[in-house]
């Protein structure tokens, strides 16, 4: 019952379009006037649930008046603006309607340093603070660590995080260059912990419930600078193993089920179902315009290994559960 209630809260704003119905104009106007109340209620109820479970971080109060009516609308673009230390949501015309982070010269916990990935979870935003490497930002030549995965409400409050700002490690509640994060249907978070060469699944109590390579000690099965991980419908995890030049499907028993070295080949007999899981059930996903190497499953079932450098963000489209997914 608790999971069903939480899922309802996390589905986000309704995406229904009632235009054109007789007498609908006044109703639509009333709905527009009440949109902030709906956002507050959904985000507030979700946060209240986390607080009741002792999982909510303390945060300063933020007024709802700062939220744009265009927030979280279909067609908007969620961008991990990596070296500007922020995540922004923009309308198709380029207008910024939401942002988190204080800009390229701010390296405090109030920003997200070197953000490499972000996705919308209903009205909330999950993002990975990768940090900036040395000799990239002139103002901080030694680089800046973030090492957090954070969940932010619509008003810029951090309500959950895994990892400690500025601290590097592999122990409990520590990360080293997290480059990607995925919100799972179980309300766990899948984190690509790049410099630790591992994928971890963390629950909201910050407990690691699964990891890869985990118990697998085979030399050829180890990761080398992994760049992303996504849950498949069969329960396995698809990993972009960047410096090993491969995409691998791993089981929850820490074994490689299928691997895809160049040239890329079809590896899923159930691929249409896996593709639907990747494109219809996950919330808004955004990757940085300057760096992306996530494996993508096409509708035909092929695994497409994205180039490690691109110059285009992702566009969002309506999807199931009142959320949206990103398309190149």
Percentage of the chain lying above the pLDDT 90 cut: 55
Instruction: Answer yes or no: is pLDDT of 274 > 70.
Output: no
| Structure confidence by residue, pLDDT tens digits, 34-44 | 655 665 565 65
66 band by pLDDT with thresholds 50, 70 and 90: confident
Beta pairing partners, 316: 326
Residue that is written with structure tokens 């479970």 in the block? 53
Give me the CATH topology for the region 2-12+30-327: Neuraminidase (2.120.10)
b/e per residue, 73-85, with b = 16+ CB within 10 A?
beebbbbbbbebb
Residue 171 in tokens = 């122990």
What 3-state class would DSSP assign to 130?
coil
pLDDT in tens, 157-172: 999 999 999 999 999 9
Kindly write down the DSSP assignment for every residue of 298-315, as one continuous string. Answer: -TTS-EEE--S------E
**Which range among 64-78, 179-193, 311-325 has the greatest average pLDDT?**
179-193
Length of the chain measured in residues: 328
- 3-state secondary structure at position 41: helix
Provide the residue ranges of all domains of the chain, joining segments of one domain with +.
Answer: 2-12+30-327
> What phi and psi, each to the nearest 5 degrees, are found at residue 216?
-80, 115
pTM tops 0.75: no
SS3 for 279? helix
Token digits of residue 308: 């490690």
Say if residues 183 and 213 touch (Cβ distance below 8 Å): no
Residue with tokens 């955004």: 286
């Amino acid at each position: 019952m608790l999971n069903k209630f939480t899922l309802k809260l996390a589905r986000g704003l309704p995406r229904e379009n009632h235009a054109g119905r007789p007498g609908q104009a006044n109703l639509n106007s009333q709905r527009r006037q009440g949109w902030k109340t709906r956002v507050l209620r959904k985000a507030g109820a979700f946060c209240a649930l986390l607080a009741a479970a002792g999982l909510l971080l303390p945060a300063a109060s933020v007024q709802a008046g700062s939220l744009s009516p265009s927030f979280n609308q279909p067609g908007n673009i969620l961008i991990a603006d990596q070296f500007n230390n922020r995540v922004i949501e923009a309308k198709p015309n380029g207008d910024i309607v939401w942002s988190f982070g204080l800009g390229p010269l701010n390296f405090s916990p109030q920003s997200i340093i070197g953000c490499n990935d972000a996705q919308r979870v209903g009205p909330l935003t999950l993002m990975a603070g990768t940090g900036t490497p040395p000799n990239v930002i002139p103002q901080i030549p030694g680089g800046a660590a973030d090492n957090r995965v954070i969940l932010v409400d619509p008003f810029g409050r951090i309500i959950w995080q895994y990892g400690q700002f500025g601290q590097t490690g592999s122990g409990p509640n520590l990360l080293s260059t997290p480059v990607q994060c995925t919100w799972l249907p179980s309300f766990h978070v899948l984190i690509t912990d790049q410099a630790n060469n591992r994928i971890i699944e963390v629950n909201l109590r910050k407990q690691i419930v699964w990891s890869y390579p985990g118990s697998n000690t085979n030399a050829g099965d180890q990761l080398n600078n992994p760049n992303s991980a996504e849950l498949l419908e069969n329960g396995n995890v698809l990993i972009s193993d960047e410096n090993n030049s491969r995409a691998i499907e791993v089981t929850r028993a820490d074994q490689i089920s299928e691997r895809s070295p160049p040239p890329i080949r079809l590896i899923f007999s159930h691929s249409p179902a896996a593709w639907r899981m990747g494109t219809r059930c996950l919330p808004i996903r955004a990757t940085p315009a300057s760096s992306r190497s996530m494996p993508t499953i096409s509708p035909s079932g092929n695994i497409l290994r994205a180039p490690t450098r691109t110059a285009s963000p992702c566009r969002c489209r309506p999807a199931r559960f009142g959320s949206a997914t990103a398309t190149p």
